[in-house]
């Protein structure tokens, strides 16, 4: 039987990514262009992100095919992120994917970006055991989901306010660490005392699996204000970073492990940029070891926004046959996609 070769396209936010995945398993090429221009503005500027995707995509697709060693006509399908995300950025990706697939006479499917994060660990770790708990933590989302297979999701929890990565980015900005703030804050935290400040663990005593990070951000601001005007000393910044990180990791880990224990999970899968966090990895590694539970964390390129995970979910969708027009509809919010069901579908 001839190979299935799916071109994956991801343009939901500020990373342009293209991948070629063969037979749902073999990543033949994978390119990610992080749009550095947003650093100048301290956050993602939607209009600039959409323009940059438009400029980058044609050359990146050409290059991805070259690296994969295949010609366009050897592709058997195209998969593109269609939701959730910045509408202008999503429209660029979907319009490109539709035109490209039309020109080649091959099918195109729209992929839910969060569903792709739920399964990204599969690319390196193989098929998960079910049921699994998946924690997706990024700049836009903090989602805790029970996954019983492809398309079988029970939404357990989400953030009530800021996403975990958003809290990192905002606190990092206050500490003068630039954007995106997660990686430098994580690095700085390694040099500080995590017990220096007793930052709140919101919702800790409440049952359930939801997260909240906005109070934590305010608590950091209050501590800094009490220390007088900037610049702050390096040891103070490191202590604030370490204490902030301890609170975030504690919030994420307690809720995740509660879900693991309550739901009898047989694997824990992570996804999203915050899954790169050193503190979170260490804590979950120790807890999963104690439970003899497989912890499946993708490598950093596959944690962050990437087209490989889009091609993976796209391959599964293509196996199911043609999608209707609604499958390619661009939608900004996760809620509107109908994926995040809180009772079994």
| Contact footprint for ligand KG4 (CB under 6 A) | 13, 138-140, 165, 168-169, 180-183, 186, 272-274, 276-277, 304-305
Minimal distance in Å, beta carbon 71 to ligand KG4? Answer: 31
Pick the closer one to ligand KG4 by CB: 93 or 181.
181
| Whole-number Å distance between alpha carbons of 10 and 32 | 9
> Considering only 67-75, 131-139, 164-172, 334-342, which stretch makes contact with Zn ion by CB under 5 A?
131-139
The tokens for 130 are 């079910």
182-214 burial: b if 16+ Cβ within 10 Å, else e: bbbbbebbeebebebbebebbbeeeeebbbbbe
Q: Quick one: what does residue 220 bind among Zn ion, ligand KG4, none, with the CB cut-off 5 to 8 Å set by partner type?
A: none
> How many of the chain's residues bind Zn ion (CB under 5 A)?
2
| Whole-number Å distance between alpha carbons of 29 and 149 | 26
Contact call for residues 268 and 260 (beta carbons, < 8 A): yes
Contact call for residues 98 and 330 (beta carbons, < 8 A): no
Q: Quick one: what does residue 276 bind among ligand KG4, Zn ion, none, with the CB cut-off 5 to 8 Å set by partner type?
A: ligand KG4
| Whole-number Å distance between alpha carbons of 68 and 9 | 15
Q: Quick one: what does residue 96 bind among ligand KG4, Zn ion, none, with the CB cut-off 5 to 8 Å set by partner type?
A: none
Minimal distance in Å, beta carbon 89 to Zn ion? Answer: 12
H/E stretch holding 27: strand 26-34
Q: Quick one: what does residue 88 bind among Zn ion, ligand KG4, none, with the CB cut-off 5 to 8 Å set by partner type?
A: none
Site string for Zn ion, 304-333 (x = CB under 5 A): -x----------------------------
Contact call for residues 320 and 293 (beta carbons, < 8 A): no
138 binds Zn ion (CB under 5 A): yes
Minimal distance in Å, beta carbon 193 to Zn ion? Answer: 32
Minimal distance in Å, beta carbon 99 to Zn ion? Answer: 24
Minimal distance in Å, beta carbon 328 to ligand KG4? Answer: 20
N-terminal to C-terminal alpha carbon distance within the chain = 34
Q: Quick one: what does residue 182 bind among Zn ion, ligand KG4, none, with the CB cut-off 5 to 8 Å set by partner type?
A: ligand KG4
Q: Quick one: what does residue 171 bind among Zn ion, ligand KG4, none, with the CB cut-off 5 to 8 Å set by partner type?
A: none
Minimal distance in Å, beta carbon 307 to ligand KG4? Answer: 12
6-to-78, 202, 280, 282 alpha-carbon distances in Å:
5, 42, 33, 35
Minimal distance in Å, beta carbon 138 to ligand KG4? Answer: 3
| Whole-number Å distance between alpha carbons of 208 and 279 | 23
- Which residues of this chain interact with Zn ion, rule CB under 5 A? 138, 305
């Amino acid at each position: 039987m001839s190979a299935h070769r799916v071109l994956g396209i991801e343009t939901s936010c500020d990373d342009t990514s293209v991948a070629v995945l063969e037979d749902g398993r073999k990543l033949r090429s994978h390119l990610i262009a992080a749009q550095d221009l947003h650093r100048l503005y301290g956050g993602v500027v939607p209009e600039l992100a959409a323009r940059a995707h438009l400029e980058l995509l044609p050359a990146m697709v050409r290059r991805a095919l070259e690296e994969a060693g295949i010609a366009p006509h050897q592709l058997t399908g195209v998969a593109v992120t269609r939701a959730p995300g910045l509408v202008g950025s999503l429209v660029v990706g979907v319009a490109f994917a539709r035109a490209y697939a039309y020109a080649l006479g091959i099918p195109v499917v729209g992929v839910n970006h969060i569903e792709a994060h739920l399964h990204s660990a599969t690319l390196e770790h193989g098929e998960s055991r079910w049921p699994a708990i998946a924690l997706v933590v990024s700049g836009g989302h903090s989602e805790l989901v029970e996954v019983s297979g492809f398309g079988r999701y029970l939404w357990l929890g989400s953030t009530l306010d800021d996403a975990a990565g958003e809290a990192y980015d905002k606190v990092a900005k206050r500490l003068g660490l630039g954007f995106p703030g997660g990686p430098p804050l994580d690095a700085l935290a390694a040099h500080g005392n995590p017990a220096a400040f007793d930052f709140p663990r919101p919702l800790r005593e409440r049952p359930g699996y939801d997260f909240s990070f906005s109070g934590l951000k305010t608590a950091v601001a209050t501590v800094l204000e009490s220390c007088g005007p900037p610049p702050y000393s390096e040891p103070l910044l490191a202590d604030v970073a370490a204490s902030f990180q301890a609170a975030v990791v504690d919030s994420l880990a307690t809720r995740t492990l509660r879900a693991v224990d309550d739901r009898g999970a047989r694997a824990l899968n992570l996804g999203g940029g915050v899954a790169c966090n050193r503190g979170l990895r260490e804590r979950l590694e120790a807890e999963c070891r104690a439970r003899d539970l497989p912890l499946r964390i993708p490598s950093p390129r596959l944690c962050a926004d990437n087209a490989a995970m889009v091609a993976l979910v796209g391959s599964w969708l293509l196996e199911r046959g043609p999608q209707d027009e609604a499958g390619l509809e661009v939608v900004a919010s996760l809620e509107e996609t109908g994926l995040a069901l809180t009772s079994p579908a």
